[in-house]
């Protein structure tokens, strides 16, 4: 059973299997990267189309309005969005189309900062709040550890290593695009330490395995680590995004 011949065969079989898995992993990474790029291109095209629909594209206020969905604890009624700035609440109102109250905040990190934000719990999913920012900050974000911590603020840099429950992302229906766009392009080539042309590698994979692009996509979706990998890519993208809000 444990003859040298048997061991050798076993090692060779494992090596072949490892090689196959490596190649598959490589190809999947590239497919993922390509899909992400296609998604991004489509998303950018969508943004361009939506911005063309804007009633007053030169409106200086509207052009600086951005809207975000932020996941929060549905039991938390405070309507606090931790985005790194210091906000003072100056009003709250129940609006017609949403039973949840809308809170009004002004930025007071710097004197004369014109930025305001409205925060309201999402009607469809109460675990999310909709944060609408108006105007542009005339100052930088609070540096970590600087200033005293306030109830309506946090010291984490804007939209960066925040808790997973408070990662904002743009609302697709908002015609006034937020400054943040989720670039889902993986640094997949770096991860795979591969410098070959992605298209040629993908063609290799498809022809070697006699598979269609649909098969590749289907197997990619079935891949158990697909969702975590996608989530990690999104989080990485948000973290590496310079604060443009």
Partner DNA sequence: CGTCTTTGACCAGCGC
Partner DNA sequence: GCGCTGGTCAAAGACG
Instruction: Point out which residues bind DNA (CB under 7 A).
Output: 78, 88-93, 95-97, 102-104, 116, 118, 150-152
Nearer to DNA, 34 or 132 (CB): 132
Nearer to DNA, 118 or 177 (CB): 118
CB of 183 to DNA, least distance (A): 30
CB of 90 to DNA, least distance (A): 5
Nearer to DNA, 102 or 121 (CB): 102
CB of 53 to DNA, least distance (A): 18
3-state secondary structure 81-146: CCCCCCEEEEEEEEECCEEEEEEEEEECCCCCCCCEEEEEECCCCCCEEEEEEECCCCCCCCCCCC
Nearer to DNA, 15 or 78 (CB): 78
Q: Phi/psi at 35 (nearest 5 deg)?
A: -60, -40
Distances (CA, A) of 150 to 94, 104, 186: 25, 16, 36
């Amino acid at each position: 059973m444990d003859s040298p011949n048997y061991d050798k065969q076993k090692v060779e079989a494992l090596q072949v299997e490892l090689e196959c898995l490596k190649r598959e992993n490589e190809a999947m990474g590239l497919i993922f990267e390509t899909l992400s790029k296609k998604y991004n291109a489509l998303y950018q095209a969508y943004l361009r189309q939506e911005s063309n629909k804007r009633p007053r594209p030169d409106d200086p206020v509207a052009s600086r309005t951005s809207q975000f969905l932020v996941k929060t604890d549905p039991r938390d009624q405070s309507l606090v969005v931790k985005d790194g700035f210091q906000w003072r609440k100056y009003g709250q109102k129940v609006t017609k189309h949403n039973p949840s109250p809308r809170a009004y905040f002004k930025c007071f990190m710097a004197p004369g900062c014109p930025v305001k934000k409205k925060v309201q719990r999402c009607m469809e999913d109460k675990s999310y709040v909709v944060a609408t920012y108006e105007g542009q900050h005339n100052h930088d974000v609070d540096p970590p550890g600087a200033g005293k911590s306030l109830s309506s603020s946090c010291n984490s840099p804007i939209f960066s290593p925040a808790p997973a429950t408070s990662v904002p992302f743009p609302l697709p229906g908002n015609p006034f695009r937020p400054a943040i766009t989720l670039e889902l392009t993986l640094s997949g080539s770096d991860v795979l330490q591969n410098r070959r042309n992605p298209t040629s590698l993908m063609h290799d994979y498809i022809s070697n395995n006699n598979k269609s692009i649909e098969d590749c996509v289907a197997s990619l979706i079935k891949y158990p680590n697909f969702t975590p990998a996608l989530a990690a890519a999104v989080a990485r993208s948000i973290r590496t995004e310079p604060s443009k809000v």
